[in-house]
Structure 1
Amino acid sequence: MAEYGFYHLTRTPLEQALPKLLGRVLAGGGRAMVRVAEPARLEALDAALWTCPDPDWLPHGTPRSGHAALQPIWLTTEDAGPEGAPNGARFLFLLENTQSAQLAAFDRVLDLFDGGDAEAVAKARERWRQAKAAGHALTYWQQGARGWEKKA
């Protein structure tokens, strides 16, 4: 079972929070797959990761750029296959209320949601219930004054 973490964005937008989390994965020698809901959002996120200041280098690819196996970070609108992420990632980032039927293919799932969006919060609660029923180890993180704070 995957360790499934819910990340409640309350202080910074996704475009600022995501690069720092991805940077931590890369710094630890990991690989990540990032799933978004819409192709237009994928393109915007692709551009944002190339120009983010912190960390200043997040090597990544998309289906359009190809060569998934070479990409430390893979951005996609598609779910992983039964064999896992096309880049061999063990970290799965779920954005924009996306879900995955392949959670067991990952060591860790990070589900980021906007705390200022009531619909996103309600959908995150439903994903929490589903993940708990499936037996995943759940954690809940919320942005605080000093960064991410793990809540009970």
Structure 2
Amino acid sequence: MGAAFFYHLTRKSLAETLVMLLGKSLDNGWRVAVRGTDASALAALDQALWRGPEDGFLPHGMAGGAQDADQPVLLTTTADAPNQPNCVMSVHGAEVSAEEVGALDRVCILFDGMDEAAVAHARTQWKALKDAGASAQYWSEESGRWEKKAET
């Protein structure tokens, strides 16, 4: 049974944080779906991920291609991810369900701590997942490094 990890971004950009988290996920042997709500915002993330980590290559693709099922990291706007992910990373307020949290190794919810609407949405997601019995952790980078601040 998995857990939802909430990442409250206050220092690093979404792209920088994704590069770090995707690298760790791939190191674990996981396939990942990065789920967003806006195709153009995902296209911008796609470009940032191609610039990727300074010391390597981050293999990924945008959903809608012939090779979707083979992608280790697939950027998508839908819950249906043909790459059969072990981990879903929610960005830009994309919804995740308690069932997904239970079925996957990990669900990561990344949200912009400088955007009040994003923070409010993350709080709503936290409460919904907690009320549904899902395991959740809240991580903050406020101190300059990631620290777990709460857990259900």
Q: TM-score, normalised by structure 2?
A: 0.89
Is 1:92 the counterpart of 2:109 in the alignment? no
Q: Which runs of 5+ in 1 are unaligned?
A: none
Aligned to 1:17: 17
* Amino acid paired to 2:126: W
CA deviation after TM superposition for structure 1 residue 7, in Å: 0.4
Aligned to 2:33: 33
CA deviation after TM superposition for structure 1 residue 25, in Å: 0.4
CA deviation after TM superposition for structure 1 residue 93, in Å: 0.2
Q: Supply the RMSD in Å over aligned alpha carbons.
A: 1.6
Which stretch shows the higher mean deviation, 93-102 or 39-48? 93-102
SS across alignment from 2:79: coil
Alignment partners' CA distance in 2, 1:90 and 1:97:
20
Q: Which runs of 5+ in 2 are unaligned?
A: none
- Which residues in structure 2 correspond to 1:2-151 (within 5 Å)? 2-54=2-54, 56-80=56-80, 85-101=81-97, 103=100, 104-151=102-149
CA deviation after TM superposition for structure 1 residue 100, in Å: 2.6
SS across alignment from 1:116: coil
Alignment partners' CA distance in 2, 1:55 and 1:34:
22
Alignment partners' CA distance in 2, 1:55 and 1:123:
34
CA deviation after TM superposition for structure 1 residue 55, in Å: 5.3
SS across alignment from 1:147: coil
Q: TM-score, normalised by structure 1?
A: 0.89
